[in-house]
Amino acid sequence: MDIREIQNLIKFVAKSGATEVKLEMDDFKITIKTTEAGAAEASYFQHYPAAQPMQPMMQQPVAPVAPVPASTPAPASAPVEDNSKYITIKSPMIGTLYRKPAPDKAPFVEVGSTISKGDVVCVVEAMKLFNEIESEFSGKIVKILVDDMSPVEFDQPLFLVDPS
């Protein structure tokens, strides 16, 4: 089962109204629980063959999404950022974001970097697989929204890009 199938399963469970689904396969087990708001939360458990020693697996808790408060007028002294002209690069999966190809290497992109369609902007590690995240358009990185080695959610904004 690949990450896209897992994401589709999470979406299906969230929409179905089921409160909990457990799926066990040969090499792993997935438990998906839904909250009152209908958001799905997944727990991943890796099973190791009996011949290998057991290693503890760190699991990042999935924080529930806080409701957005009603819009309040901004104070007159606070500058308002207009991000509507920028395109957002979002995470296609749940995992841990790495901005560098290796700890001793330079980041893939920095603020001000010019990118082309197909350029790798970061790596997201999910279930011990490192997935290169490529830009779907050309432009200039204007803001980096996630720190290196941070957990990310599906569809979470990662970068703002000026396409002009």
- Closest of 159, 52, 81 to residue 115, by C-alpha: 159
Q: For CA atoms 149, 99, 126, 35, give the dihedral sign.
A: positive
45: β partners: 29
Element (H, E) at 9: helix 3-16
Q: Could you tell me the two tokens for 9?
A: 């399963």
140: β partners: 114, 162
Residue-wise pLDDT tens digits, 97-147: 999 999 999 999 999 999 999 999 999 999 889 999 999 999 999 999 999
pLDDT value at position 13? 75
Please state whether the predicted TM-score (pTM) of the whole model is above 0.75: no
pLDDT grade for 61, boundaries at 50, 70 and 90: low
Q: Say how far residue 83 (Cα) sits from the centre of its chain.
A: 20
Contact 32, 42 (CB under 8 A): yes
Element (H, E) at 96: strand 95-98
